[in-house]
Chains A and B, each alone.
Chain A
Amino acid sequence: MAIAELPLPIARYHAPRRSRRAWSRAGLGLLLPAALLAFWAVGTAYRLFPPQVLPPPSLVWDSAVDTFRSGKLLSYAAISFYRVVVGFVIGAGVGLVLGVAMGLSRTVDDYVRPLFTAIAQVPNLGWIPLLVLLLGIGETLKLTIIAKAAFIPMVLNTADGIRRVSPQLLEVARSFRFSNSQLLRLVVLPAAVPSIFTGFRYGLAKAWTALVAVELLAASEGLGYLLVWGRQMFWMDLVIFAIIIIGVIGFAMDFCLTRAETYLQRWRTEPEQ
């Protein structure tokens, strides 16, 4: 890359583009959902589907407004959000520590990995009945399941990232007589950050799925419970609305995490795979 090509001052990675292409792309992307929405509205108006199976969009909107007005939406969303965040922080925090330990020390990895793998083989859903018998159906159960869901990918990705630190960079640091704590703080951890973030994202996704699962099975409030309630009462509109909300929140969380990741890794210039 010739010196002349180097932008000065250094261009910001991920500069927003308001080009015409971006708008047309967005427009085309909305075409299919818009068409489906139109089909849905017209179909229900002409009674193409029985109303229990697919209520008209207006009804979904009404129940959305209702749920919001009655305060249920916010309180349920808050509860679900609280569970996910607390569970995720616990699970990812413990997972980070264990992952670092396993990445740094072969001994720790040797001891822990088989047991860890065995536990990871059972899907989160499988653990729920077991833990229900042990912990009841209170908040402890929910937080435990969510924490466990976040824990597994966190450990895997962190250990992997730590182990993959370039030995070449470590040599450079050693040639400057870095102590072990300096090596860890200034070389190993920064180099492992991309993998750690991948662990965060997977962990959060799994935690969110686990939340929905546990709220479907054993909760009396929360967004998952909204689904259960709607289904028990055969209120399809509520079910659809709950699905939308769950999707939106899941997307929002992932989006924020991706943004944070981009910001922390602005030194990256190659496209991420």
Chain B
Amino acid sequence: MRVSRPDQGLEIRAVSKSFRLNGAPLPVLDGIELSIKPGEFVTIVGASGCGKSTLLRMVVGLDGDYDGEIVHAGKRVSEPSLSRGIVFQEPRLFPWLTVSRNVAMGLENAPMTAAEKARSVADHLALVGLTDFRDAYPGQLSGGMAQRTAIARGLINRPDLLLLDEPFGALDALTRARLQRELQSIWSRERITMLLVTHDVDEAVFLGDRVVVMSPRPGRIAHIFDVPLPRPRKRTDDALVRLRNEVLLALEEATDDTAAEIVDFPRRDRDGASRPAHLRPDAEAV
């Protein structure tokens, strides 16, 4: 268990960001204010297009171009750091490396001896239950196992902050439920600050101490819910179900309530949830 120091928290102050699409600025995030205490588990839930993934990338440091302040461990975040780990929606494992080598990738720049690194890799593989598969290649793994490997890799540097971008979105329901439980138990044991982004309300409420509901276009925080329920949580728990319904309601409100902005998206249909605008990777940031 790690010691939480007060300056290891995350501060997001008045953060905004715009992309450029076809010459016009496309606001993606607007005035995000969020304060995360060390050791907290915060989930962000919102429909596609509310900028939650963009926010996560900015917090981890892959995108340093934004207005406002993101402060972690007392410093403004503008580039990646080993004190911040990230798990993406795709496992993003290196196909030519075994499971253990993939996890060890994270220690490439860590100031440890080879023996220490090996110990750490073994420990983290045990943590996610993949010790028996340390010599398997990603091509031989199931989706759930690959994502577990990615989680081990995200934790290997013992970061203060672990960011998870819809980590279970690509998995089937059963695997997803199981991995959510595993993530919860990892968090309970290690007490790493976690910020998880998802579009699944059940997941958000099951995992988080606080649930942040975002509204899309541009991404804004619509509501923050407290989840004062003890862990391990039961999905059938009355209080949990009630809270979940509240969050779902808030989410629906936030999503339908989108301002009728005249931003021309290539696809926009009215089937209850607007289709997301897919930003091209070469869209220039303003």
* Direct chain A–B contact by Cβ atoms under 8 Å: yes
Which parts of B91-130 form the interface with A (CB within 8 Å)? Answer: 92, 94-98, 105-106, 108-109
In the assembled complex, B246 has its CB within 8 A of some CB on chain A: no
Residues of B participating in the A interface, judged by any CB pair closer than 8 Å: 60-62, 79-82, 84-86, 88, 90, 92, 94-98, 105-106, 108-109, 132-133, 135-142, 145, 157, 281
- In the complex, which of the residues A168, A176, A177 contacts B88, with contact meaning CB atoms closer than 8 Å? A168
Bound complex: CA A187 to CA B108 (Å): 12
A172 surroundings in chain B (CB, below 8 A): 88, 92, 105
Contact B136 A6 (CB under 8 A): yes
Contact B106 A176 (CB under 8 A): yes
A186 surroundings in chain B (CB, below 8 A): 105, 108
Contact A174 B62 (CB under 8 A): yes
Complex A-B, nearest 4 residue pairs according to Cβ-Cβ distance, in ascending order = A269-B139, A267-B137, A175-B80, A1-B142
Contact A174 B80 (CB under 8 A): yes
Contact A2 B108 (CB under 8 A): no
Which parts of A37-53 form the interface with B (CB within 8 Å)? Answer: none
Contact B92 A6 (CB under 8 A): no
Contact B92 A168 (CB under 8 A): yes
Given contacts A176-B105, A178-B109, contact A269 B62 (CB under 8 A): no
Q: Is the interface of B mostly helix, strand, loop or mixed?
A: loop
Bound complex: CA A38 to CA B60 (Å): 72
Closest chain-B Cβ to A180's Cβ sits at a distance in Å of 13
Contact B62 A177 (CB under 8 A): no
In the assembled complex, A134 has its CB within 8 A of some CB on chain B: no
10 further A-B contacts with Cβ under 8 Å, apart from A6-B140, A172-B88, A187-B94, are A1-B140, A2-B142, A6-B141, A173-B105, A177-B79, A179-B109, A191-B96, A266-B137, A267-B95, A267-B137
- 7 A-B residue pairs with Cβ-Cβ distance under 8 Å, sorted by A, are A1-B140, A1-B141, A10-B137, A168-B90, A182-B108, A182-B109, A265-B96
- In the complex, which of the residues B95, B109, B139 contacts A177, with contact meaning CB atoms closer than 8 Å? B109
In the assembled complex, A3 has its CB within 8 A of some CB on chain B: yes
Bound complex: CA A175 to CA B57 (Å): 10
B95 surroundings in chain A (CB, below 8 A): 267-268
Bound complex: CA A169 to CA B139 (Å): 15
A193 surroundings in chain B (CB, below 8 A): 96
A265 surroundings in chain B (CB, below 8 A): 96
